[in-house]
């Protein structure tokens, strides 16, 4: 079963008379219940791909599907939990109020919302700070709150852009455990990361993007069969493409 499908996606940005191709005929699928890692160097097109997936921008050609629903044609947002690379919040709200707001905008039943908020705060180790204004939160706390926002309505598909950003080792361990728990519950997780050790630890399959081209789709095992680790295999693949 397919949770996410990119079908011959091309994206070109225009500035005046100049055109800048960003994605070139990108096709891949993410299976339901798997953790899929999306990686590539800066400027590879990862963020553009995620924006297309969320319908923030539209492809120049091709189609994207979430749970067999074409992105841009039908409502799909309630099916996903999203963490942006840099989460932004209303800083004069508390963490608790932020999650209440997120749950309401996701269409959650008021009868279960408060309990879900308390559960999310507890799971992300934010209970002691739940009644504090977000402007007093550290970067790591804001990152964990962003994960809680993605979790609050218990969607089937999670799209996480650099989920480990700004976290200390304990925070990274916490988010790692949360992602693995989601997999155990049959959820689908699509995430981008520059931290290759996290990719190696978590992912069932990965996709490697460079200069808008998809270089690799497959398992970690297949990627490293001729190398010692993911980092060396990744660097070798990018350097080979650059040359």
Q: With bands split at pLDDT 50, 70 and 90, how would you rate the model's confidence at 127?
A: very high
Q: Look at residues 111, 119, 165, 156 and name the one whose alpha carbon lies nearest to residue 138.
A: 165
Q: Which long-range contacts (CB under 8 A, 24 or more apart) does 75-80 make?
A: 78/106, 78/107, 78/153, 78/155, 79/155, 79/156, 79/157, 80/54, 80/155, 80/156, 80/157, 80/158, 80/159
Domain that holds residue 164: 2-87+157-242
In the sheet with 205-210, reading across from the earlier edge strand, the strands are 80-83, 157-161, 188-192, 35-39, 205-210, 213-218
Answer yes or no: is 147 within a domain.
Answer: no
Q: What is the pTM of this model?
A: 0.93
CA distance 163 to 174: 11
Answer yes or no: is 103 within a domain.
Answer: no
CA distance 235 to 225: 14
CA distance 56 to 64: 13
- Each residue's pLDDT tens digit, 49-98: 999 999 999 999 999 999 999 998 877 778 899 999 889 999 999 999 99
Instruction: Summarize the confidence of residues 100-107 as an average pLDDT.
Output: 93
Q: Does 146 have pLDDT greater than 80? A: yes
Answer yes or no: is 100 within a domain.
Answer: no
Instruction: Summarize the confidence of residues 146-169 as an average pLDDT.
Output: 94
- Structure tokens belonging to residue 145: 């709150």
The pLDDT value recorded for residue 91 is 95
The pLDDT value recorded for residue 79 is 86
Contact predicate 5/65, CB 8 Å: yes
Answer yes or no: is 235 within a domain.
Answer: yes
Answer yes or no: is 185 within a domain.
Answer: yes
Please count the structural domains in the chain: 1
Q: Does 139 have pLDDT greater than 90? A: yes
Answer yes or no: is 231 within a domain.
Answer: yes
Secondary structure class of 229 (helix, strand, coil):
coil
CATH number at residue 212: 3.40.50.300
The pLDDT value recorded for residue 243 is 85
Answer yes or no: is 146 within a domain.
Answer: no
Contact predicate 204/34, CB 8 Å: yes
The pLDDT value recorded for residue 21 is 92
The pLDDT value recorded for residue 45 is 94
Q: Does 229 have pLDDT greater than 90? A: no
Low-confidence winner among 17-26, 73-82, 189-198 (lowest mean pLDDT): 73-82
The pLDDT value recorded for residue 108 is 92
141 exposure class (CB count in 10 Å sphere: 0-12, 13-18, 19+): buried
Q: What are phi and psi of 157, to 5 degrees?
A: -125, 135
Answer yes or no: is 110 within a domain.
Answer: no
């Amino acid at each position: 079963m397919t949770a996410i499908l990119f079908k011959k996606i091309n994206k070109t940005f225009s500035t005046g008379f100049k055109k800048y191709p960003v994605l070139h005929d990108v096709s891949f699928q993410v299976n339901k219940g798997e953790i899929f890692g999306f990686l590539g160097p800066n400027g590879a097109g990862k963020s553009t791909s995620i924006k297309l997936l969320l319908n923030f921008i539209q492809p120049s050609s091709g189609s994207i599907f979430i749970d067999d629903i074409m992105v841009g044609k039908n409502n799909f947002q309630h099916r996903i939990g999203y963490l942006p690379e840099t989460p932004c919040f209303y800083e004069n709200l508390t963490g608790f109020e932020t999650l209440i707001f997120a749950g309401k905008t996701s269409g959650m039943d008021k009868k279960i919302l408060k309990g879900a908020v308390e559960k999310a705060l507890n799971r992300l180790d934010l209970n002691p700070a739940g009644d504090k204004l977000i402007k007093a939160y550290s970067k790591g706390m804001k990152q964990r709150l962003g994960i809680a926002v993605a979790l609050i309505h218990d969607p089937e598909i999670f799209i996480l852009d650099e989920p480990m950003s700004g976290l200390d080792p304990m925070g990274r361990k916490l988010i790692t455990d949360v992602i693995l728990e989601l997999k155990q519950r049959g959820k689908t997780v699509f995430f981008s990361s520059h931290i290759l050790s996290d990719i190696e630890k978590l992912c069932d399959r990965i996709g490697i993007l460079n200069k808008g081209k998809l270089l690799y789709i497959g398992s970690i095992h297949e990627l490293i069969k001729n190398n010692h680790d993911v980092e060396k295999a990744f660097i070798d693949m990018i350097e080979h493409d650059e040359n």
